[in-house]
Amino acid sequence: MLSAGVLFSVALLYLGLLFGVAYFGDRSAEQGRSIADSPLVYSLSLAVYCTAWTYYGSVGRAASSGVGFLPVYLGPTLGMALAWLVLLRMVRISKAYRITSIADFIASRYGKSQLLGGAVSLIALIGTVPYIALQLKAVASSFNLLVADPDAQVGLLSDTALYTAVLLALFSILFGTRHLDTTERHEGMVTAIAFESIVKLCAFLAVGLYVTFGLYDGVGDIFSRVEGKPELANLLRLGGDGAMGYGSWFALTLLSMLSVIFLPRQFQMVVVENVNERHLRRAAWLFPGYLLLINLFVLPIALGGLLYFGDSGVDPDTFVLTLPVAGQLDGLALLVFVGGLSAATGMVIVESIAVSTMICNDLVMPLLLRRRSWAQGGQQDLSQLPLLIRRCAIAGILLLGYLYYRLAGEAYALVSIGLISFAAVAQFAPAMLGGMFWRGGSRTGALAGLAAGFGIWVYCLLLPSFVKSGWLGSDFLEYGPLGLNLLRPEQFLGLEGLDPISHALFWSLFFNIACYLFFSFAYPPGAREASQASMFVDIMRRDPSSLAVFWRPGVGVGQLIPLVSRFLGADRTMHAFEAYARRRGVSRVEELAADADLVHFSETLLAGAIGGASAHVVVSSAVEAEPLGLDEVMGILDEASQVRAYSRQLEEKSRALEAATAELRAANERLKELDRLKDDFMSSVTHELRTPLTSIRAFSEMLQDDPKIDLEQRRRFLGIIVAETERLTRLVNQVLDLAKIESGHAEWHNAELDMGDVIRNSIEATSQLFAAKSVAVDVSLPEKVSPLWADRDRLIQVMINLLSNAVKFVAPKGGAVRVELSERGEEALRIEVADNGPGIPLNEQATVFEKFRQVGDARAKPAGTGLGLPISRQIVEHFGGRMWVESIPGAGASFYFELPLERSEG
Amino acid sequence: MTKKILIADDEVNIVISLEFLMKREGFEVVLAADGEEAITKIREEKPDLVLLDVMMPRKTGFEVCQELRSDPAMQDLKILMLTAKGRDTEVAKGMALGADAYMTKPFSTHELVERVKSLLGLAE
């Protein structure tokens, strides 16, 4: 026997360890090494499904109905197999719209209905409290059993259940309501639950191994002994005497399948705490694998216990504990106790957190927000309020659970509450499933279905359980209310031959679904509902970030941020809005456009903290929305929801196509322009070639025709022919030169050079020209010129071009050309070549660098190709410089070019 | 009676060659170096034929041609256009504007003389 002190210390130590694990999980998450972000941890945390009720009770069930304990595990396995169909949808919807509980899910789906959210929360609360009581009872009775006082009625202060309740409340508050987060994930809690799942599995496997291989000689031994006892052998047959009928099998499997999805704690673990939806894929077989393991020894333990204790009256529910105790194995008994504690605490913690979220977001907040001063206007910071409400709710739920446990004791209403609870949450199924797959489900339908289903549940399951507990007279059960036989709760409308759970499940779901369908058709969804419905139903097809929000808001960031801050706190709010701004491609929060999407984002943000329905009230109190009419919305939705995704793709494609077309058009324009330029160039070149050719041909022909032309004339004509030939040669050379430079085929012989030298050489080369027209050259060079990296010959070409141009245009008398070199800081050299000629008219200054554009009076038409300046400019630009002209007509012209001093490429 | 020919071109060497050529054929020659000068000289000198270059400063040969053709007093004047741009569109444009003949540079001096003579009705 173990002493109460030892047990108590072990329990405390274990809970302390749990605190440590949870704390570690939270810390790791904060440091970015998320433990919960793993398919294994996720799957283990789903095993919160296995509570103390199943931990102890499945052996009890197996002892009374043999393989009949299986449906409770077959259901979840089937449920997980459907994970892709249902759970993935739920996860995606919840993440997109920041849904944090079942109540929130249903309320949001049906037009953010507060009434619906409240109703679901209430049902969940009613279904949960006795279930929590059951866990407390399991802990307490296992405790009492181990201190060898199974039926001890302990005083309040020495009641294990009370301390358990208090400690669990503390734990849930600490790790379930640490801060208000928009994602509402609690990694520490998840880590602790995963840890607990391992503990209870190990404990159960240990006792299973002990019974199978310690007490007996393996599974075969147990079964062969059972075969010797007909009353036990029956348990191993499907449909044998005393075993369950097929109807019950089906009902129980369905029930467990629904509960693994819709139990508040399962929703919390599967959906809310999901870090990555891909984990779902692994969990779909890991979790059933866990269930298989933990059920491996259920039947051997049950049968072994029955064989071992015979008719000595030991409750099969306690076999897990009593077998080790009987074998004097205190250590194993202690481990089993800790395993049971694990199962109980895990369930209580998650369930109380899940239900407290519902109570806060869907019961209390909506009531508080009824006062308009809370919803809008007020500046007070409410960010601590939801946390406070949740903490109170957790404490309240556990207190209620404890009270129920104290009041109900050994009553049927407590013992059988496991499946009864399952049946309560099964009522969420039509509204949830309908909501995810059927656009037509309406708020009225969901309300009616829930009310009918829950009503039947109360009538056919809860009240009879009270009767069986002796709290109500049994006449009601046997003869129906007021003696109406047809209304007997367990043979409702004359349906007989089913066990109470299957019976109640059948009728409650029947009326639930019937009312849901009937009222959905009778009162189809309104505009807001239809919009929400399409968001839920089309979740797999649409991008949740673009939503059907059919109104135009009258508020912007300025109003929305303070509003959200009141519930979320300033820091979190700013973080969230900044992230949102980045997503929208806006650099600052202030620049966010005041559009429907912004309002929707704010509402979603709030929804994570205070629930969808409440968030809607808060935001719409601030937003002067202009809703569209129902017909419009329905019209848009019918087509939009289906076609929307496709049409968006189409739009994108057609936009891309337009862009491509525009680019092509632009490219084509550029090509045409280039083609035109080339044509112009060719035409100009042709003209420039034909002109000298004309003279050459004319004079040659005349000289040929008439040999008697006098010598003077003849010499003159030949001179012209020679000059025109030279002109032609120059032109051809320059055209080729320009073509080479422009096409990038020119050769550049770059070297370090002194620009002063280049200028001196160029002036020397052109000195003949200056001398011929007696033009004075004024050269001004700095003492020291920074070296330049360029092609010397090319720069001389530029200089000679500018100098010879200048000579052409100088004043006829007193012609002067000035050449000046200066450094522009450390970046560039500037060269100026100025003449004192007529200057260039303003309107021609821009075109002087164009090809074949020659300036000047026709009579004084300068001999030149019209390509010198374009080539010079190309050369200067090749070295990264620029060339331009400044001129005041009548006062000469100055040509400038600058060359950068840094090594240029080329 | 000697026919009078006006030569309008901005290329000095071409003007020299044309002047020599026309004088050798016995025509009286008047010179103009741009479009405006050509019009003034035509009004003053009333030549029988004008050798009109297209690419000239101030007024192009086309503009000169158009202006002359819109003047009733100038209806008898023969216009022979000379251009270094040999595109068909240029030729068509010149003819449309009322030129009597069109020759591209470089031209054969014999052909030019023949054309001038035939335009003036002096062909053998």
Is the CB of A687 less than 8 angstroms away from the CB of B107?
no
Residue A15: CB atoms within 10 A of its CB come to 18
CB contact under 8 A, B10 and A696: no
Q: Determine the average pLDDT of the residues in A544-568.
A: 64
Of A690, A702, A724, the CB nearest to B105: A690
Structure confidence by residue, pLDDT tens digits, A578-597? 888 888 777 777 777 767 77
Give the C-alpha separation, A261 to A269, whole Å: 10
- Other beta carbons within 10 angstroms of residue A315's beta carbon come to 15
Residue A884 CB neighbour total at 10 angstroms? 15
Closest CA to B39 of B66, B76, B1, B19: B66
Which residues face A817 on adjacent strands?
A777, A835
For the structural domain made of A642-740, what CATH number should be given?
A: 1.10.287.130
On the CB side of A346, CA atoms within 13 Å amount to 33
pLDDT value, residue A623? 66
Please report, rounded to a whole number, the percentage of residues in chain A having pLDDT higher than 70. Answer: 88
DSSP for A654-699? HHHHHHHHHHHHHHHHHHHHHHHHHHHHHHHHHHHHHHHHHHHHHH
Q: How far is CA A762 from CA A770, A785, A788, A833, in A?
A: 12, 17, 17, 12
CA distance B103 to B51: 10
pLDDT, one tens digit per residue, over A699-742 is 999 888 888 888 888 899 999 999 889 888 888 888 888 888 88
How confident is the model at residue A148, as a pLDDT? 65
> Taking the CA atoms of chain A, what radius of gyration do you get in angstroms?
46
Of the candidates B20, B56, B87, which has its C-beta nearest A702's C-beta? B20
Decide if pLDDT at B35 tops 70: yes
User: Mean pLDDT for chain A?
Assistant: 81
Collapsed DSSP state (helix, strand, coil) of residue A899: strand
CA–centroid distance for A383 within its chain: 24
Task: For the sheet with A828-835, list strands across it.
Answer: A776-780, A816-824, A828-835, A893-900, A882-887
pLDDT at A858: 41
A28-37, A331-340, A413-422, A806-815 — which one is most confidently predicted on average? A331-340
pLDDT at A76 over 80: yes
A47 Cβ contact list (under 8 Å, min separation 6)? A197, A200, A201, A287, A290, A291, A294
pTM of the model: 0.58
Domains of chain B: 4-119 (3.40.50.2300)
Among A423, A422, A430, A458, CA closest to A446? A430
A100-109, A476-485, A502-511: least confidently modelled range:
A476-485
Does A243 score more than 70 pLDDT?
Answer: no
**CA distance to partner chain A, nearest, from residue B54 (Å):** 11
Q: Is the previous residue joined to A39 through a cis bond, with omega within 30 degrees of 0?
A: no
Percent of chain B past pLDDT 90, that is, above it, reads 24
For A585-589, the CB contacts below 8 A with 24+ separation are A589/A557, A589/A561
Higher-pLDDT residue of A341, A862: A341
Residue A452, pLDDT above cutoff 90: yes
Nearest CA distance, B16 vs chain A (angstrom) = 9
Closest by CA to A199, choosing from A21, A77, A350, A28, is A21
Give me the interface pTM, i.e. the ipTM.
0.91
For an interface test with B, give the residue of A676, A680, A701, A703 to mutate (most B CBs within 10 A).
Answer: A701
State chain B's mean pLDDT as an integer.
Answer: 87
- Res A693 pLDDT > 70: yes
Confidence of residue A455 (pLDDT cuts 50, 70, 90): very high
Burial (CB < 10 A; 0-12, 13-18, 19+), residue A597, is middle
pLDDT in the model for residue A640:
47
Out of A268-282, A501-515, A862-876, which region has the weakest mean confidence (pLDDT)? A862-876
Q: Please check the confidence at residue A409 and state whether its pLDDT lies above 80.
A: no
Is the pLDDT at A68 greater than 90? The verdict is no
Mutant choice from B9, B17, B53, B89 vs A, greatest count of A C-beta within 10 A: B17
Q: Classify domain A747-900 at the CATH class level.
A: alpha beta
Q: Which two tokens stand for residue A712?
A: 């003077």
Interchain proximity A695–B85, CB inside 8 Å: no
Averaged pLDDT, B116-122: 88
- Output the CATH code of domain A4-370+382-426: 1.20.1730.10
Cα angle: A390, vertex A395, A397; to 5 degrees: 90
Put simply, whether B75 touches A (Cβ < 8 Å) is no
| CA A434 remoteness from chain centre | 25
Asked whether the predicted pLDDT for residue A160 surpasses 80, the reply is no
Neighboring chain A residues of B13 at a CB cutoff of 8 Å: 692, 695, 699, 720, 723-724
Instruction: Report domain extents, chain A.
Output: 4-370+382-426, 434-540, 549-628, 642-740, 747-900
Q: Is the pLDDT of residue A538 over 60?
A: yes
Whose CA is closest to A318, among A181, A137, A158, A152?
A137
Surface of A (682-741) touching B: CB under 8 A: 683, 686-688, 690-699, 701-702, 705-706, 713, 717, 720, 723-724
Six-digit token pair at A893?
């012209």
CB A25 within 8 A of CB A192: yes
Distance from CA of A797 to the nearest CA of B (A): 27
Radius of gyration of chain B (CA): 13
Q: Does A241 have pLDDT greater than 50?
A: no
Rounded Cα distance, A448 and A113, in Å = 13
Query: Chain B partners of A691 at a C-beta cutoff of 8 Å?
Result: 11, 14, 84, 105
